């Protein structure tokens, strides 16, 4: 893997870990919307980790992106809506930057999804999934993807559990922004 791709993979991995942790924190409140956002963040973290693990294992990138882009866009929309809602409540510059980032990423994923679904036929994805390409240990693309999805799910749930345990208190105001960050 070249340096640029390695840095990109590291960035996605860090964001995925943060999404899972923050999702666990959001799940610790009793509010329905916070639980929905928490599930979306944990799911986004899981899908991001699965993407990185799959690339490292050599699974065809188009196969992986085809399978995870639609859920990514759905989770991204929920997280983006919540970011703008949080900015409206807090007027924090940091939350504004986060909301802008989430909006750009969600828009990028939506454009990517439209391009992939327009240009790639489902039959081609099935053929790629059955092929082994350069996948480690002789797995097919589909088998390696499923293995990575299970591993990523376990990791995301553990990280979310840690976040939830650290903030498992209904008295904690998850949406409160510390004074130094406004």
**Averaged over 34-52, what is the pLDDT?**
87
How many whole angstroms separate alpha carbon 26 and alpha carbon 30? 9
pLDDT at 144: 75
- Please give the structure tokens belonging to residue 9: 């993979």
Helix (H) or strand (E) holding 181: none
pLDDT at 168: 64
Residue 126's pLDDT band (cuts 50, 70, 90): low
Measured in whole angstroms, the distance separating CA 82 from the mean position of its chain's CA atoms is: 15
pLDDT at 135: 56
Query: Other C-beta atoms within 10 Å of 158: how many?
Result: 12
- Please give the structure tokens belonging to residue 50: 């699965």
Q: Is the dihedral of CA 135, 139, 145, 147 positive or negative?
A: negative
Higher-pLDDT residue of 138 and 161 is: 161
**Averaged over 118-135, what is the pLDDT?**
64
Least confident of 25-39, 75-89, 133-147: 133-147
Instruction: List the Cα angle 133/134/135 in 5-degree steps.
Output: 95
pLDDT digits (tens, 9 = 90+) for 68-100: 777 878 888 899 999 998 889 888 888 899 899
Looking up tokens 């085809």, which residue turns up? 66
**Averaged over 60-72, what is the pLDDT?**
76
**Averaged over 30-49, what is the pLDDT?**
86
pLDDT digits (tens, 9 = 90+) for 94-115: 889 989 998 998 888 888 778 7
Residue 181's pLDDT band (cuts 50, 70, 90): very low
Mean pLDDT over the full length of the chain: 78
- Please give the structure tokens belonging to residue 163: 């976040």
For the chain, percent of residues with pLDDT exceeding 70: 79
Residue 8's pLDDT band (cuts 50, 70, 90): confident
């Amino acid at each position: 893997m070249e340096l640029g791709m390695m840095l990109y993979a590291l960035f996605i991995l860090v964001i995925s870990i943060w999404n899972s942790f923050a999702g666990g924190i959001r799940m610790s409140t009793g509010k329905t919307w916070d639980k929905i956002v928490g599930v979306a963040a944990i799911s986004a973290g899981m899908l991001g980790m699965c993407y990185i693990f799959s690339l490292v294992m050599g699974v065809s990138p188009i196969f992986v992106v085809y399978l995870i882009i639609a859920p990514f866009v759905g989770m991204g929309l929920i997280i983006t809506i919540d970011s703008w809602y949080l900015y409206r409540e807090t007027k924090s510059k940091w939350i504004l930057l986060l909301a802008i980032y989430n909006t750009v990423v969600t828009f990028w994923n939506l454009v990517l999804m439209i391009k992939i679904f327009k240009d790639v036929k489902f039959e081609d994805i099935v053929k790629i999934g059955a092929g082994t390409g350069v996948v480690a240990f002789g797995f097919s693309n589909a088998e390696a993807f499923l293995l990575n999805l299970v591993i990523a799910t376990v990791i995301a749930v553990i990280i979310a559990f840690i976040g939830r345990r650290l903030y498992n208190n209904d008295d904690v105001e998850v949406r409160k922004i510390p004074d130094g960050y406004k």
